[in-house]
Structure 1
Amino acid sequence: MLTDLRIEKTQAALFDALGDLLTEKPFFEITVSDLSRQAGIGRQTFYRHFKSIGDMLDVRFQKSKEEQLSIVKKSLEDNEDWRLAIHRFAFERVAAEPLIARTILRGEAGPNALTNFHDQIKKLHEMAPHNRFDAATPELQRFVAPLHAGALVAVLLEWIDAGCTPDAQTMSQFLVNASVVA
């Protein structure tokens, strides 16, 4: 158990360090040496956890995806509005690390992050009990997830630029309401 706690502590220090470094310079200028020094660990320790800084972000995103899918499953089981739950999760996660989120959403961390984001939206659509785009022809159905992924990326980036205000709950409700209108 101690090993798990040390791993979590080291990885948290690395993400904190990345957030701090992003206030000083663009993502593509940050090196593993910079990140390790800022986190107070050795380069070898970094490489025990991750292959690269991009891999570090991929690992974080994969964990978030798993958490989000479990939230959707629970919301569906509890007959709650799963759309509100997943949007709130996304906004809360972005608010916790806005500079890291901006790096991922702008594609600066590499194409994997945006591809993973798209794949997540597709999975969420597949889990949904019903979808107002169900009536779309099979030819058009393939564009539904990219439409939502693109819209969500745009809204999240604008929200980050606005200082993550209004709060996550308000933004989540806004997106649920907007998706009914749009």
Structure 2
Amino acid sequence: MGALDELLAEKPFSDISVSDLARRAQIGRQTFYRHFDSIGAMLEMRLSFVLSGQKEWASANADNLSPQEWSFQVHLFAFEQVATLPHIAHAILSGAAGKNALSSFQEQIISLRNALPHSAPHCGTPELQHFLPSYHAGAIVSVLLKWVECGCSPDAETMARFMVQMTNPNDN
């Protein structure tokens, strides 16, 4: 991952080849292909690992925290993870890393949003209610992408509080 993050700091995802990555990581191309089909597949595996950790934490703590604190912690996790590898996050959030990585990220947001239905705002009509998780996923992706483009500023905690306030304005 370090080699990919370094390369992403230098050039767009679409301009990075397996040869570039292997050279930077000081491995052979065949070594890379023994583990991954593509650079996008490598990102998807990394993202899957991070998302599973978040989902496990969210499930384990759903009944232990207030909906507001749970939501804050889930958002904080996302912002902290993005800040750890901003160039990789940008490739995923912008869609440059491929549809699968971005879709996995959006599906995670939707599943987390659905984990606490009693904390979700209601839009008035049942036929429109099922659109809220997708709306929230799109908002999170857009805000995270803009945050990365702004140099991950303000800090992750401020952004997590902002997202809780924006997604549940009646609770604040």
Cα deviation, residue 143, structure 1 = 1.3
For 1:163-182, what aligned pairs fall within 5 Å after superposition? Answer: 163-181=151-169
Q: Runs of 4 or more off by more than 4 Å in structure 1? A: none
- Is the Cα contact below 8 Å between 2:22 and 2:28 reproduced in 1? yes
Higher relative contact order (CA 8 A, sep 6+): 2
What pairs with 1:94-105 in structure 2 (closer than 5 Å)? 94-105=82-93
Cα separation, partners in 2 of 1:152 and 1:127, compared to 1, 3 Å:
same
> Which residue matches 1:38?
24
In the alignment, which residue of structure 2 is the partner of 1:12?
none
Shift of 1:24: 1.7
- Preserved contact between residue 22 and residue 99 of structure 1 (Cα < 8 Å): yes
Q: How many residues align?
A: 168
Offset of 1:145 from its aligned partner? 1.4
Change in Cα spacing, 1:66 to 1:136, as seen in structure 2 (3 Å) is farther
TM-score (norm 1): 0.85
Which stretches in structure 1 are left out of the alignment for 5+ residues? 1-14
Structure 1 partner of 2:139: 151
Give, in whole Å, the separation in 1 of the partners of 2:105 and 2:86.
16
Name the SS for the 2:21 alignment partner: helix
| 8 Å contact kept, 2:44–2:101 | yes
Distance 1:44 1:82 in 2: 44
The one of 57, 66, 89 equivalent to 1:71 is 57
- Residues 1:115 and 1:138: Cα distance change in structure 2 (over 3 Å): farther
8 Å CA contact 1:75–1:85 kept in 2: the answer is no
Name the aligned partner's letter for residue 107 of structure 1.
Answer: G
1:77: Cα distance to partner?
Answer: 3.6
- Whether the 8 Å CA contact 2:90–2:145 is kept in 1: the answer is yes
SS of the residue 1:37 aligns to = helix
Measured after TM superposition, the shift of residue 91 of structure 1 is 0.4
Aligned residues of 2:91 and 2:97 also touching (Cα < 8 A): yes
Q: How far is the alpha carbon of 1:153 from its aligned partner?
A: 1.1
Question: Gapped runs of 5+ residues in structure 2?
Answer: none
TM-align CA RMSD: 1.7
Cα distance in 2 for residues equivalent to 1:44 and 1:25 = 23
Preserved contact between residue 54 and residue 74 of structure 2 (Cα < 8 Å)? yes
